[in-house]
Amino acid sequence: MERKNFLRSLMVGVVSGPALWVACKKDSAAVSTEIVSNPGSGTSSATCAVAPTETEGPFPTKSPSGYVRSDITDGRTGYKLTAKLTIANSNTNCTVLSGVLVDIWHCDAEGNYSEYGGSGMQSTNYQSAHFLRGRQVTDANGLVTFTSIFPGWYSGRSTHIHVHVYNAAGTSLKVTQISFPEGSGSAVNIVNGYSKGMSGYTLNANDNVFSDDKNNSEMATVTGSIAAGFNLSIKINVPA
């Protein structure tokens, strides 16, 4: 997958109502008890393939070393998401990598990124905020775990999370992105774009980053429900 140019227009929605967190309900009779099990590949390790390289986009974390934290919500409201990423070394038959740095960042429920805004690319100004960004160091099992919220969406992109992996010395090993399963019963459909719905949503097949990921190597496994929260897992293979 070649590096793509990030689309430059954002459609900003508005989340209304009380804070949405683990105990929150959204049309509870319809979906709050529904358990989602829409796995993608969840891993690119079947053939020990290296994760595709993708763009950081126009909103990368400016000082990632300053945000070493597992809970990256930082006051943003949304349905709870626990993200577990396992990092493996494609140069050693995809054995897990301990002690590497993993940065993630994604938009909030309204489709906005922290650290940016006040311009044509994002009208809402969040330049002084740092929500939904964080860094963790992989454990002995190559695992990092982040507590966040389910990402919203904006014009031109499907639901996604950005990932940047560095070795312990700070050398970049991989910049990639994580996609989410779609379709009936998927977490994407159940969350339904929070308050703005899914009208105008870009599916993975039409996304400028994921459209050529025919093997779903960037797709996570996502399970859970609105009431209980969602769980994301994926294995990312990098050359180290």
47 within a domain of the structure (yes/no): yes
User: Range of 114's domain?
Assistant: 28-238
Q: 219 and 181 in contact (C-beta within 8 Å)?
A: yes
- CA-wise closest residue to 159 among 118, 127, 134, 191: 191
Tally of domains within the chain: 1
- Per-residue model confidence (pLDDT) at position 215: 85
- Per-residue model confidence (pLDDT) at position 173: 98
- Per-residue model confidence (pLDDT) at position 30: 34
194 within a domain of the structure (yes/no): yes
DSSP string, 112-163: --TT--SSSS-SS--TT--TTEEEEE--TTSEEEEEEE-----TT--SEEEE
* pTM, 2 dp: 0.84
80 within a domain of the structure (yes/no): yes
- Per-residue model confidence (pLDDT) at position 180: 99
- Sign, CA torsion 53/236/150/133: negative
131 within a domain of the structure (yes/no): yes
- Per-residue model confidence (pLDDT) at position 46: 54
19 within a domain of the structure (yes/no): no
| Residue ranges, the chain, pLDDT below 70 | 1-46
- Per-residue model confidence (pLDDT) at position 120: 85
8 within a domain of the structure (yes/no): no
212 within a domain of the structure (yes/no): yes
DSSP string, the chain: ----PPP---------SS--STT--SSHHHHTTPPEEEE---BSTTTTPPPPP----S---S-GGG-B-SB--TT--SSEEEEEEEEEEGGGTTEE--S-EEEEE---TTS--TT--SSSS-SS--TT--TTEEEEE--TTSEEEEEEE-----TT--SEEEEEEE-TTS-EEEEEEEE---STT-HHHHHTTGGG-STTPPPGGG-TTTTT-TT-TTBPEEEEETTTEEEEEEEEEE--
Q: Which two tokens stand for residue 116?
A: 């940016």
CATH number of the domain enclosing 185: 2.60.130.10
7 within a domain of the structure (yes/no): no
